């Protein structure tokens, strides 16, 4: 009986190899503009930036991706020293900083409900949510495939009138293949996916029209 049980266990292991979990690697999240064009605003408009909330449907929100090595070992990726929420909020702030806008960080905007806006936050408030961000890497001999998806929703509001002015969603899906695995590639493709979402939303003519109305 013991022998039969042992044979059964070995057979199951052969059919379903154990995936061993490994270490977590830290990545620096930074805004990397998709355009090299330098735009400097002379607007006196004050843009308040509140939290871009992490609303991903994931159990462990400290992680932003994983790698399955050629030995079927799992490695994980996480933002370095900050939460994803803090990282993406900082990237949105960097977008406006690079364009010369006056901006400031404000407190959390509860439920992104217009009634919860505070009049002294600024001229307009920019908030939103991270709907998805994940990078899957599968490594095999001389083959490393990256697949990353980012999805952001941005909500723009008027705090004085307690009114939602505009909302928009952007999705970016990127893939990368390389013979050898490089952690720098993981960092680069994640930053590119998030930055593309940010650029696609704020470079929209509808948002620019809102800015012009307040100037």
Q: In sequence order, what are the residues at sequence separation of 6 or more whose Cβ sits closer than 8 angstroms to the Cβ of residue 112?
A: 53, 127, 128, 129, 155
Pick the CATH number of 19-24+47-214 from 1.10.3470, 3.30.160, 3.30.43, 3.30.200: 3.30.160
**Residue 83: strand, helix, or coil:** coil
**Residue 4: predicted pLDDT:** 46
**What is the phi/psi pair of residue 27, to 5°?**
-120, 145
Category of 145 on φ-ψ map: left (φ > 0), alpha (ψ -120 to 50) or beta: beta
> Beta partners for 67?
75, 137
User: Distance between CA 38 and CA 210 in Å, rounded?
Assistant: 21
**Residue 21: predicted pLDDT:** 59
User: Distance between CA 163 and CA 207 in Å, rounded?
Assistant: 15
- Mark 67-96 as b/e (b = at least 16 C-beta within 10 Å): bbbeeeeebbbbbeeeebbebbbbbbbbbb
**Residue 180: predicted pLDDT:** 96
Q: In sequence order, what are the residues at sequence separation of 6 or more whose Cβ sits closer than 8 angstroms to the Cβ of residue 152?
A: 52, 88, 128, 129, 130, 131, 169, 170, 194, 197, 198, 201
pLDDT tens series, the chain, 215 aa: 544 444 434 343 344 444 445 799 999 999 999 876 666 677 789 999 999 999 999 999 999 999 999 999 999 999 999 999 999 999 999 999 999 999 999 999 999 999 999 999 999 999 999 999 999 999 999 999 999 999 999 999 999 999 999 999 999 999 999 999 999 999 999 999 999 999 999 999 999 999 988 87
């Amino acid at each position: 009986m013991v022998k039969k049980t042992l044979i059964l266990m070995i057979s199951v292991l052969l059919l379903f190899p154990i995936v061993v979990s490994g270490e977590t690697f830290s990545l620096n999240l930074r805004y990397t503009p998709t355009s090299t064009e330098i735009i400097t605003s002379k607007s006196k408009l004050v843009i308040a930036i509140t939290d871009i909330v992490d609303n991903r449907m994931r159990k462990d929100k400290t992680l932003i991706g994983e790698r399955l090595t050629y030995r079927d070992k799992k490695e994980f990726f996480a933002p370095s020293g900050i939460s994803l929420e803090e990282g993406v909020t900082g990237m949105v702030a960097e977008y406006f900083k690079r364009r010369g806008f006056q901006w400031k960080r404000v407190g959390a905007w509860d439920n992104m409900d217009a009634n919860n806006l505070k009049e002294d936050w600024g001229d307009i408030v920019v908030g939103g949510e991270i709907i998805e961000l994940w990078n899957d890497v599968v490594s095999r001999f001389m083959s490393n495939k990256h697949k990353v998806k980012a999805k952001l929703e941005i909500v723009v509001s008027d705090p004085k009138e307690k009114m939602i002015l505009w909302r928009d969603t952007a999705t970016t899906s990127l893939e990368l293949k390389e013979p050898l695995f490089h952690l720098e590639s993981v960092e680069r493709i994640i930053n590119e996916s998030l930055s593309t979402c940010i650029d696609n939303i704020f470079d929209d003519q509808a948002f620019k029209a809102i800015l012009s109305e307040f100037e």
